Amino acid sequence: MTWFVLLACGSGQETMRSTPMETTVDLRPPAEVAAPVVFSGLAELFPPTVGMPRSIATLTPGMQGEAARALLVEVHRPGIRVIAQRRGGFLVALSELAEAEGVGVALILADGGASLHEVDMSLPTAEAEAVLGELWGEPEATTFDDQGSPVYRWVGQPWTAQLQRVEKKSVLKYMATGS
């Protein structure tokens, strides 16, 4: 058997008190929260209504594929090649726009490359949603893909624009309105 003895010093008559100390760190939230960093050129790239960036605004659904490819060659970023390849029955011509670094564009050409079917753009995700929402307003429709990411749709003429997250970028897809 073990016995424990507890000894304490003091008279027991005094009340214990604590005194506050000066803080060494200010724990209050900052008075002003900094604005998020936004890709500054993206707002200038798009028109205020649903449509293509100014440099490729002349693209229209069904236009001749050769003319669409010639426009892409004219407006692509120097030093970045224009690549054409076949994918699933379509000819895809892709490059990066000269007016906005990191913004890719892909022309989806049907009928063996004879006519423009669709235009896809690769955009920075966070900035794309914020900028297009500010410029074009609330989307006409919002759905969700299989991974639960939102898909926004704005209807314009002659294009309907659909914004969807794909991995680390967003894809802005232009399809003929009514298709």
pLDDT in tens, 33-74: 544 444 457 888 999 999 999 999 999 999 999 999 999 999
Q: pLDDT tens across 6-31, in order?
A: 555 555 566 667 777 676 666 666 65
- Which two structure tokens, joined as six digits, stand for 12? 């027991």
Query: From 1.25.40, 1.10.10, 3.40.1000, 3.30.160, which CATH number describes the 56-176 domain?
Result: 3.40.1000
Cβ–Cβ < 8 Å for 144, 150: yes
Place of tokens 């994918």: 87
Here the tokens at position 45 are 């790239």
Instruction: Provide the pLDDT confidence category of residue 102 given band limits of 50, 70 and 90.
Output: confident
The first and second tokens of residue 71, run together, are 């426009």
Beta bridge mates, 163: 152, 172
- Alpha helices (H) along the chain: 42-45, 65-75, 125-136
pTM over 0.85: no
For the record, the structure tokens of 168 come out as 């680390």
